[in-house]
Structure formats: C-alpha cells, structure tokens
Amino acid sequence: MNNAQTLIEDLDTAQRARMKADDFDRSYNHAHDAAWVTKCKRRNCLMRLIPDLAEEIELDRYRIMEEGHRQEVLMREELQAAGTILWHPGRLEWEEYEAKVEPDDVITEQRGKPCKIVLDYKSSDPYIFRKAQRYKDFNDLLSSEFFWMGHYPSQMLMYGAKLGIQELLILFKDKSRGTKHAVEAVADDYKNYLFEILAGLKEVNALVAKNQAPKAVMTEHCTKCEFMSTYCFPDDDGTALADRTPRISDADMETKIKRYTEIKPFEKEAKSLWSEIKDFGDGSSVIIGNYLLKRAEILTTKDGTPKEIKEQYKVPNSYFRTTLKDLNRPL
Ligand code: SF4
C-alpha cells in the first residue's frame, strides 16, 4: 500500500514539475488565446503585463492537456504511417503583432499529390468528441457551447496568415475510441474575423507598450478568465472592484484575516454551547472532567434612566461598517 502511494506521489511530483516548466513566454500574444481580443482586450493586456497574477492551471486540468498532447503525437504518427507527408514549422515569431504562433503541422503531400494545408490536432473525451462531430466549419466552432472551441478558428486563421496558407484543417480524435473527425476551412472565408483579431492585437500591443490595460467591464466571459478572482474582482452589482479600490500588501494583516475566516464559522456554535454551559446545574461551582465551572456573584450598576426620558436625548448618528469578502469566491 505504501509503495503504491509513493509511486503515485512521485508521478504527481514529476507532473507538477513538468507543469511549471511548461510555462511559456507571456511577453508575447499567443495564437491560441488571441480570440480573447473580441471579448475583453483587458485580459490580453493583463496576461502580458502581470502574468504572475493569472490563475494557475490546476494539476487535474494539466493532466487532461498532457494526455491530449500525447494523443496529438500519436495522430501525427498515424498520418505519417498512412503516407501523408508533414512539415512541422515549429514556433514562429510574428513581430508585426508581437505574437507567437505554433502550428502543429502542415500537410505538404497527400496520396502523392503536393498540397499545403495547415493542420492542428485536437483530442477530446467521448462526450466532447460527439459534440465536435456536429461541427462542419469554423462558424460552428465560433458558436460552440464550449468556450475553448470558439478560440480554435482565430488560432488556425493566424497560423494560415503567418504561413501564407489558405487551407486549414482541424483533426479531432476521440481519446477513448480513436475515431476521427475533421473540420475544414478556407481562410479567405473568414478574413473579416481575422482582421478583427489582428486589429485587436495591435490595440493590445499599443496599450502594453504604455503599460496600460482598458478598464474592466464585467461580462459573462469573466467567469472563464484567469484574472477574475485574482485581479479584476467582480462586486455584487457585477462591476469590477479592481479599478476603484486600492490594492495594498500587508502580509501580517492578510494572515490575521485568513485566520479570522477560519474560526468565524464556529462562532455561532460556540455561542450556543456557551449558553448551555453557563446555565448548567443549580448555579453553584462544579468540576466536570478537567473543567471547572466557576460561579461567583459580580456586583455592578446599570443605567436606570426611564425609556421615555432616554428617547428625548436621541440624536442622529452615523458610523462606518466593515465587511469582509473572500475574493477567491467572488460570485
Ligand atoms: S475578469 Fe473580465 S474584465 Fe477582467 S480581464 Fe477578465 S474578462 Fe476582462
């Protein structure tokens, strides 16, 4: 049992190390998240200006991504074994847009015929794959119920534009059964969308150069954003706290607040128990287990002013109330 536990812990540790090492250069725009410029340019600016504040990927999600990458390698091997000639362009820098693009492959020959098709592999679990099978073109992907799939077209269009290739193809694979499904597109059919993406990236670049980001506008996309609960912080009315609330660093106070939130949930239970404890017995001191319940009469005074007279002396008053909100659970 101990051996099994150790083995799994070692695997997790190694996977965590790979996850950390996988962190890629955030000083550039990346094709896979360029579509964010149509939803919130602030997010793309923040990703380049303060990447350390972006919510980290959880290990479970990283596992899925890693398995996906393995399937992608297998798909490449399968295609090559079937006689398809592939070229892997690697990671390309696109200075004009301060972007990095990394197409999976380009098909250069199919059944003996030369061609140029940008190819990206996507592996999915059976449920997602069944949904993906209904997609025929990029418009279907753009209106996909899965947020991340809506980002595939801009990614592919950027690959195509950088490489000067019109034909684009996404090859989906069902991870558990190996079934494939392809979605094809001709880049020119989506040129307006590509212009929108590239113009958005230019706006982001201009803002980043000035070390600025647009003001936050909270929308339905925020729940998918890495900065929602680390930087923007939606308020109860849906507006962002980030742009109107000063941010300070005080590790000591942060520790105290954290401790307070840990013990606060027990306050009600403690009060109710104390009320039972103090009324226990006949009112005389008693020892219970290791505890002494000590009773003593305390003489004191109380304000005996009649209520009607007290009312006459009431004056308007104001005070400040402080409440505490856990910004890691903002919604
Ligand atoms: S949380 Fe919302 S407003 Fe803030 S960067 Fe993300 S998408 Fe934009």
Ligand 1, CB cutoff 6 Å, lining residues:
40, 42-43, 46, 216-218, 221-222, 225, 227-228, 232, 240
Strand, helix or coil for residue 96: helix
Of 68 and 105, the structure prediction assigns the larger pLDDT to 105
Which residue has 């197409």 as its token pair? 103
With beta carbons less than 8 A apart as the criterion, state whether 285 and 297 touch: no
pLDDT in tens, 215-241: 888 888 998 999 988 888 877 777 788
Take residue 317 and report the two structure tokens written for it.
Answer: 């008053």
The residue type at 286: V
How much is the mean pLDDT over the chain? 91
- The rounded Å distance from CA 239 to ligand 1 centre is 10
CA distance 9 to 22: 20
* pLDDT for residue 87: 96
pLDDT in tens, 196-211: 999 999 999 999 999 9
Of 120 and 19, the structure prediction assigns the larger pLDDT to 120
Q: In a 10 Å sphere around its CB, with 0-12 CB exposed, 13-18 middle and 19+ buried, how is residue 68 labelled?
A: middle
With beta carbons less than 8 A apart as the criterion, state whether 28 and 48 touch: yes
- The mean per-residue pLDDT over the stretch 165-173 comes to 97
With a cut of 90, say whether residue 110 has pLDDT above it: yes
Per domain, the residue ranges of the chain are 2-214, 251-305
Take residue 302 and report the two structure tokens written for it.
Answer: 């109380």
Q: Chain centroid to CA 28: how far?
A: 19
- The rounded Å distance from CA 233 to ligand 1 centre is 9
Q: Whose CA is nearest to atom 5 of ligand 1?
A: 43
Of 231 and 192, the structure prediction assigns the larger pLDDT to 192
pLDDT in tens, 235-278: 777 778 877 888 888 999 989 999 999 999 999 999 999 999 99
From the CA of 232, give the closest atom in ligand 1: 4
Q: Whose CA is nearest to atom 2 of ligand 1?
A: 222
Q: For residue 331, name the pLDDT band (cuts at 50, 70, 90).
A: very low
pTM greater than the 0.95 cutoff = no
* pLDDT for residue 46: 94
CA distance 238 to 42: 16
Q: Whose CA is nearest to atom 3 of ligand 1?
A: 216
Measure Cα distances from 163 to 197, 241, 257, 269 in Å: 17, 42, 53, 66
Take residue 71 and report the two structure tokens written for it.
Answer: 């399937």
* pLDDT for residue 328: 65
Take residue 120 and report the two structure tokens written for it.
Answer: 């990206």
Q: For residue 330, name the pLDDT band (cuts at 50, 70, 90).
A: very low
With beta carbons less than 8 A apart as the criterion, state whether 118 and 138 touch: no
pLDDT exceeding 90 applies to what percent of the chain? 59
From the CA of 234, give the closest atom in ligand 1: 1
CA distance 316 to 310: 14
CA distance 69 to 77: 13
Q: Per CATH, which fold does 2-214 belong to? A: Lambda Exonuclease; Chain A (3.90.320)
Q: Whose CA is nearest to atom 7 of ligand 1?
A: 222
- The rounded Å distance from CA 227 to ligand 1 centre is 6
With beta carbons less than 8 A apart as the criterion, state whether 159 and 103 touch: yes
- The mean per-residue pLDDT over the stretch 71-88 comes to 94
* pLDDT for residue 327: 72
pLDDT in tens, 262-320: 999 999 999 999 999 999 999 899 999 988 899 998 888 888 888 888 888 888 888 88
112: left (phi over 0), alpha (psi -120 to 50) or beta: left
With a cut of 60, say whether residue 329 has pLDDT above it: no
- The mean per-residue pLDDT over the stretch 52-62 comes to 85
